Structure 1
């Protein structure tokens, strides 16, 4: 018995010719190449927030480096508040990882607060 016969369940009414192999490129073409991307960003000043907001509004995931700012810096507090509003608007998520990274997700994506290997 061949592999397709096993997949099809042996004596079913379908043959291997009834099935079409799907190609990822066909999927991307059919969906306009749309898919979530992961962006790495560095926040040096307030203007860097614009590109991050645009990416999240477009449905992308962003990991932002905030090492240039002290976590007690009023600028970084303002930036985090602004990005928190974006996450709320798109029903995404925002998490600060340590003192140096922000993780922002688009609509419907959440970041677990539990470590996998804890």
Structure 2
């Protein structure tokens, strides 16, 4: 299974050990130019939203696991509303992928709603 399949694939409990670091010679140069990072986060409670918001405000991309919540849970509804407002404020984007992930992007990055 490829790294993007692991990042964007099915839910379940993931840990840092589930992600494989790939050797990319040009990564350091590309990162220096854009300054953007992709963060993987887990939302267990309202407090987990703060570092996600900070990352998006700082210009980073966040993929957040919400498997600990039901999509009908009022807490996750409130969290999604907060993250939606952050995406609007920075002119970024937000989508919910299935019942297990939320993807939030920074300024100028939009998420296609069509699968490849």
TM score, norm. by length of structure 2: 0.72
Question: Which 4+ stretches in 1 moved above 4 angstroms?
Answer: none
| Aligned equivalent of 2:105 | 105
1:1-118 map, 5 Å: 25=29, 28=32, 35-116=35-116
Q: Quote the RMSD (CA, aligned, Å).
A: 1.5
Unaligned runs of 5+ in 1: 1-23
Q: How many residues align?
A: 88
In the alignment, structure 2 segments of 5+ residues that lack a partner are: 1-27
The structure number with the bigger radius of gyration is: 1
Displacement of 1:64: 0.1
Higher relative contact order, chain-length normalized (CA < 8 Å, sep 6+): 2
